[in-house]
Amino acid sequence: MDPFSFPPFAAVLDGAAALITGLADTLAGIVPSGLAVLAAVGIVTLAVRAALIPAGLANARAQVARARLAPRIRELQRRHRKDAALLARRTQELYASEGVSPFAGMLPSLLQLPVVSVVYGVFTRASVAGHANALLAHTILGTPLGASFAALVGAGAIGQLAVPLALLAVIVAVAIVSRHLALRTARAMDPGAPVPSRVARVLSWMPLLTVVFAAVAPVAASVYLAVSMSWTSVERTLATRRYLAA
């Protein structure tokens, strides 16, 4: 069964499509219709991220708190390296005594998953809640907003790749800059940290996996990813600096 045809999900998609259409109609007199739809997606993204600021600040506080505890964690690892069960118990006790959750940073990402799913659904469904999806009729520079980079390449539509390629380039650039800022912030939070292992260095490139999703996602969903990733990078950097200074 198609999950997007389930009445509650269909209603959410219908509401999201109506919101984006309404914003696009407001902007249509200023910019071309396709660009107006992408701008509407950007505005919705900014609104979602603004609503998640408290979660982002909590994440930054947790990062700084974990960094403050990092030397004590390393001491526990040195002392109990031969007893994994005892090490896990002592580590959990330390986090509990300091009121720090090792999983606090997952909240903003988890809260965004439903939004990404809705944006993806809105721009991949030919019909929403039983009526034709008018958003799919919009194009920008000849590229349908519901098309993806991978689909266009597969169809040989080389002339329509300009917009998806530009969005992929932006997402790659944001991912690389975000990685650099995250590593620099981590060093500032915990100057005594050992040199990262090879596995840790490889995992630090994980944000680039977003590029894979963006390559198969509709153009409009790629806009959401680009704006949201940029917001995350700036918010995390500024917030951690603030809590470090405090």
With bands split at pLDDT 50, 70 and 90, how would you rate the model's confidence at 230? very high
- DSSP class of residue 81 equals T
Question: What is the pLDDT at residue 58?
Answer: 83
Tell me what the mean pLDDT of segment 64-82 comes to. 85
Sign of CA dihedral 171, 110, 34, 27: negative
The pTM of the full predicted model, rounded to 2 decimals, is 0.82
Which residues fall within 8 angstroms of residue 160, CB to CB, at 6 or more apart?
A: 141, 142, 143, 144, 147, 152
Question: What is the pLDDT at residue 80?
Answer: 86
- For residue range 161-188, what is the model confidence (pLDDT) as tens digits? 999 999 999 999 999 998 888 888 888 7
Q: State how far the Cα of 135 lies from the Cα of 124, in Å rounded to an integer.
A: 10
Go through 114-124 and write b for each residue having 16 or more CB atoms within 10 A of its CB, e for each that does not.
ebbbbbbbbbb
In a 13 Å sphere around the CA of 142, the CA atoms on its Cβ side amount to 7
With bands split at pLDDT 50, 70 and 90, how would you rate the model's confidence at 123? confident
Question: What is the pLDDT at residue 102?
Answer: 66
Question: What is the pLDDT at residue 244?
Answer: 78
- For residue range 78-116, what is the model confidence (pLDDT) as tens digits? 888 888 888 888 888 888 887 777 666 666 667 778 888
Question: What is the pLDDT at residue 54?
Answer: 87
With bands split at pLDDT 50, 70 and 90, how would you rate the model's confidence at 227? very high
Cα–Cα distances in angstroms (integers) from residue 141 to residues 36, 37, 144, 219, in the given order = 13, 13, 9, 12
Question: What is the pLDDT at residue 216?
Answer: 92
Tell me what the mean pLDDT of segment 219-236 comes to. 91
- For residue range 4-52, what is the model confidence (pLDDT) as tens digits? 677 778 888 888 889 999 999 999 888 888 899 999 999 999 998 898 8
State the residue for tokens 């409009």. Answer: 220
**How many whole angstroms from its chain centre is CA 246?**
27
Question: What is the pLDDT at residue 246?
Answer: 67
Q: State how far the Cα of 74 lies from the Cα of 91, in Å rounded to an integer.
A: 10
Q: State how far the Cα of 22 lies from the Cα of 26, in Å rounded to an integer.
A: 6
The two tokens of residue 103 are 């999983």
Tell me what the mean pLDDT of segment 58-69 comes to. 83
From the number of C-beta atoms within 10 Å of its C-beta (0-12, 13-18, 19+), residue 148 rates as: buried
Tell me what the mean pLDDT of segment 186-197 comes to. 76
Q: What percent of the chain has pLDDT over 70?
A: 95
